[in-house]
Amino acid sequence: MSYNIVVLDGIYANPGDLSWEPLNEYGDVTIYERTSPDQVLERAANADILIINKIKLGAAEFEKLPNLQLVIISATGMDNVDLDAAKKYDISVKNVSGYSTQSVAQHVFSMILTLYNQVEAHDQSVKNGEWNSDKGFSYLLSTIPELSSKTITVVGYGQIGSEVAKVSKAFGMEVLIVSNHSKHLDDYELVSLEEGFKRGDIVSLHWPMTPEREGLINKKLLRTMKPSAILINTARGGLINESDLTDALKDKTIAAAALDVMINEPPVTNHPLLMLSNCIVTPHIAWASSKARSILLKKVFDHVANFKTR
């Protein structure tokens, strides 16, 4: 069976270092790096299969795309597609999971070590000539904590959370787990969200976004944290009340935060969190190692290969 396959925002899964070529086996392929909302219907008009990442699709689009049979989301989250509307129009929707576990865990620790070891600050200090200004053979800009003496609270114990816990244990850290599903863990201590925030030197968020979790990380919870604690978010921006986090960082309620996700992506350039020296922000890249994206594309191709036309 030959399909008309259209990729609407392919630059995220493949910015140019990988190949879409395997798709050619299954039909005619058109690839767009980015597609604006007002271009979706025109570009998808003849598609049997749409491959998207963050493009929003709902009843208004499905009604005008009579050929569409399959939507493949090249990501795990499916909140950008109206699944009820897809079912109504007999359109299958597939996502991809389990491709970025190691990539996200690696990014979590890159953030932790950036904050703890301050490699960039010390590098800049040396290049500014400070090592040659009577500081001796070694000097510190500020105290460097050691991970082996710290407690990390991992919020969410799915594939990524469990990988972060495993890496944390390898560093010799005490690991606390917040999980709504696990009842008992042999290797780690299971705690409530409140206890995890109170005891953690580092709190790393790995919960999926649900309506009841919107803004759950708020002023009340942040105030229970240690003044020396740091908050890491590689999950979903909506978990955090960004105004409350801004206040907590400004008044030193907590020491620092490192965010790979925000409520609005991209955020406005003058977003208060971007103005703070104790807040690191990266552009939603924790998932995007080359290996993770290779696995992602392979799973997208598998969805096409395994699709049975209606």
Residues 6+ apart with CB under 8 A from 12: 53, 54, 74, 75, 288
Residue 70 φ/ψ region, left for φ over 0, alpha for ψ in the -120 to 50 degree band, beta for the rest: beta
Q: Which residue has the tokens 């200090």?
A: 125
Alpha-helical runs (H) found in 118-265: 119-127, 159-170, 193-199, 219-222, 242-250
3-state SS assignment for residue 94: strand
CA distance 29 to 11: 15
Token pair belonging to 237: 């921006």
Token pair belonging to 257: 């935060």
- Could you give the residue numbers annotated as active site? 236, 265, 284
CA distance 219 to 97: 32
